[in-house]
């Protein structure tokens, strides 16, 4: 008698390189254009705006609960303006998600939400803002593999935040300032994932 039974094939070996999974570390740096609109609450403290080009930096650290998806913590710092009208900055600290529709490709989109801190510096120090609040970012980018786990690329990010400064609530002329900050950035990134 001839035995025609064939043993079951071994499970395919899981590819571990050029695959977005495991530990996630992204560093971004680049240029931005942003604007902060500050609103005062009285006639002696009029509204004003500070805007212009500047620099931006991000650091994101996390992991992948599933292939092609990452989440973790993020910090984002932006400075802009630097003209005769003053300068401004925005910092965001929060959580992020970043998804790769194809886990072995570089296209990715993500976002972050968290606490925001904004500031303005004006000539003469008039009604300078040191605000706290909430903000977020969204991005779309592409990374090219340069090693087994490393890739480099670029992304476009939009950010926004609303903050309030109540540090001037007491004194002979109490007032508060609130702000809305909007930013568009083009960033170059290095990713280990």
Each residue's pLDDT tens digit in the chain (193 positions)?
Answer: 777 777 787 776 555 678 899 999 999 999 999 999 999 877 788 889 999 999 999 999 999 999 999 999 999 999 998 877 789 999 999 999 999 999 999 999 999 999 999 999 988 878 889 999 999 999 999 999 999 899 999 999 999 999 999 877 666 777 889 999 999 999 999 999 9
Q: How many other CB atoms sit within 10 Å of the CB of residue 185?
A: 26
C-beta separation of 93 from 72 below 8 A: no
**Total-model pTM:** 0.85
Rounded-to-integer distance, Cα 156 and Cα 123, Å: 32
Domains of the chain and CATH, by start:
23-169+176-192 (2.40.160.20)
């Amino acid at each position: 008698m001839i035995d025609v039974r064939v043993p079951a094939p071994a499970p395919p070996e899981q590819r571990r390189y050029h695959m977005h999974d495991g530990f996630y570390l992204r560093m971004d740096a680049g240029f931005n254009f942003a604007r902060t609109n500050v609103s005062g609450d009285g006639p002696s403290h009029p509204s004003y705006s500070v805007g212009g080009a500047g620099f931006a930096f991000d650091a994101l650290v996390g992991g992948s609960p599933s292939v092609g998806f990452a989440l973790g913590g993020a910090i984002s710092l932006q400075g802009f303006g630097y003209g005769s009208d003053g300068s401004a900055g925005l910092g965001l600290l929060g959580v992020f998600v970043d998804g790769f529709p194809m886990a072995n490709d570089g296209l990715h989109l993500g976002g972050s939400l968290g606490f925001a801190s904004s500031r303005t510096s004006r000539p003469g120090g008039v009604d300078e803002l040191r605000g706290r609040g909430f903000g977020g970012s969204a991005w779309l980018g592409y990374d090219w593999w340069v090693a087994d786990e490393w890739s480099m690329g670029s992304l476009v990010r939009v950010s926004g935040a609303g903050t309030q400064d109540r540090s001037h609530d007491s004194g002979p002329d109490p007032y508060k300032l609130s702000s809305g900050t909007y930013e568009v950035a083009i960033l170059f990134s290095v990713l280990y994932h």
